[in-house]
């Protein structure tokens, strides 16, 4: 494995972490949006808030990580992606602004009107941000982003079957992942009814995600030859692994098993991200720019690996501390949702 490949792997670690943690976070916004005005809906929203409150900021730092590794390690690809996909990326950036501030403000807004507006903003932007990011991934994966400053089509590069499919896929997996997480959060909060509530939603979202993935086979076959070939050859074991993990989650949820569903759901998402990576290898931008040709000079690549090593040593313990404190309910603000008898 070359240094450039190692840096690409680091990039993929970031993409995976963002897909998992950021995805679960977006999903919580989705569930809080569709929870409705009923008493149970209100409590479900409280559970979403309570669960992501301490961790949401850290979750989204993964996005910065991905951007920085991309522009440092593979500047040419970054330039191509951000100039050709100006529209969806601008929309995603707006979504991030709205979402982050919606979340920051709704905790502090005590008046009902302000609270419900910021909740709505948070929910809607949790919906369209991952969708637009999905269209960006679709554009890259289907080879629609040429090298250069805005040399691709500004519209059809991201408004095409593959982009729409992956956008939908992002939404479905976010909702699914988040619902699985919220099942155990509901248990931790001592609210069995909410545990059940999210169990049903996790099952439904899992089935939808599976259906979208199935439809995806045909779309990719018709519209993204290279990716389709990769997913059905080198990437096939990972695709199968992802499907098995997904099925495992459904079985565990139906049985009401207390643990195991979360790691399997994470596994399902991580496997599909790596399947995409393997399918696209050795290309950064399929069939126009390889990892080798797009990589930064070796001193830069080495520096990225050193910084990544330092990050592993420093950030992993800190993040583990945060998640363990959060899981032990040592860090919390506001009330957990009340239990009903």
Residues 140-159 that bind other proteins (CB under 8 A): 149-151, 154
- Residues 41, 244, 319, 336: which binds other proteins (CB under 8 A)? 319
> What span, in angstroms and rounded, lies between the C-alpha atoms of 335 and 326?
14
Is residue 60 involved in binding other proteins (CB under 8 A)?
yes
Is residue 6 involved in binding other proteins (CB under 8 A)?
no
Q: Kindly report the length of the chain.
A: 341
Vertex 293: Cα angle to 291 and 296 (nearest 5): 80
> What span, in angstroms and rounded, lies between the C-alpha atoms of 214 and 212?
5
Half-sphere exposure of 243 (CA within 13 A, CB side): 12
Is residue 113 involved in binding other proteins (CB under 8 A)?
no
- For other proteins, give the closer residue by CB, 92 or 278: 92
Site string for other proteins, 38-57 (x = CB under 8 A): ---------------xxx-x
- For other proteins, give the closer residue by CB, 228 or 283: 283
Is residue 87 involved in binding other proteins (CB under 8 A)?
yes
- For other proteins, give the closer residue by CB, 115 or 221: 115
Is residue 63 involved in binding other proteins (CB under 8 A)?
yes
Look up residue 302 and give its two tokens: 């080495």
Using CB under 8 A as the binding rule, the residues of this chain from 274 to 313 that contact other proteins are 296-297, 299-300, 303-304, 307-308, 310-311
In this structure, what is the dihedral angle of CA atoms 193, 196, 200, 205, given to the nearest 10 degrees? 100
- For other proteins, give the closer residue by CB, 82 or 283: 82
CB of 282 to other proteins, least distance (A): 19
Is residue 199 involved in binding other proteins (CB under 8 A)?
no
- For other proteins, give the closer residue by CB, 71 or 281: 71
- For other proteins, give the closer residue by CB, 240 or 316: 316
> What span, in angstroms and rounded, lies between the C-alpha atoms of 244 and 275?
14
Characterize 19-58 residue by residue with b for buried, 16 or more Cβ atoms within 10 angstroms of its Cβ, and e for exposed.
Answer: bbbbbbbbbbbbbbbebeeeeeeebbbbbbbbbbbbbbeb
């Amino acid at each position: 494995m070359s240094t450039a490949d190692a840096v690409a792997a680091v990039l993929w670690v970031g993409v995976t972490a963002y897909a998992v943690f950021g995805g679960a976070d977006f999903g919580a916004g989705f569930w809080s949006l569709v929870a409705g005005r009923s008493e149970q809906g209100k409590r479900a929203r409280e559970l979403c808030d309570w669960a992501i409150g301490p961790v949401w900021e850290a979750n989204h730092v993964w996005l910065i990580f991905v951007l920085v590794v991309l522009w440092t390690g593979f500047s040419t690809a970054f330039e191509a992606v951000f100039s050709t996909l100006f529209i969806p990326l601008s929309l995603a950036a707006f979504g991030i602004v709205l979402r982050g501030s919606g979340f920051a403000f709704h905790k502090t807004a005590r008046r009902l009107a302000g609270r419900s507006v910021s909740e709505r903003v948070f929910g809607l932007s949790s919906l369209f941000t991952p969708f637009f990011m999905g269209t960006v991934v679709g554009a890259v994966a289907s080879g629609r982003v040429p090298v250069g400053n805005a040399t691709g089509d500004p519209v059809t590069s991201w408004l095409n079957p593959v982009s729409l499919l992956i956008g939908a896929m992002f939404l479905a997996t976010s909702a699914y992942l988040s619902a699985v997480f919220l099942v155990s959060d509901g248990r931790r909060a001592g609210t069995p009814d909410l545990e059940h509530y999210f169990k049903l939603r996790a099952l439904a979202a899992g089935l939808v995600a599976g259906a979208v993935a199935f439809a995806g086979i045909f779309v990719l076959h018709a519209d993204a030859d290279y990716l389709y070939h990769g997913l059905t050859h080198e990437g096939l074991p990972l695709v199968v692994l992802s499907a098995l993990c997904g099925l495992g989650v459904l079985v565990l949820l139906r049985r009401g098993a207390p643990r195991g569903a979360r790691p399997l759901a994470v596994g399902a998402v991580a496997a599909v991200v790596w399947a995409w990576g393997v399918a696209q290898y050795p290309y950064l931008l399929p069939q126009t720019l390889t990892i080798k040709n797009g990589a930064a000079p070796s001193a830069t690549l080495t520096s990225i690996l050193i910084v990544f090593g330092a990050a592993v040593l420093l950030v992993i313990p800190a993040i583990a501390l945060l998640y363990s404190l959060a899981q032990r309910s040592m860090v919390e603000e506001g009330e957990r949702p009340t239990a009903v008898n």
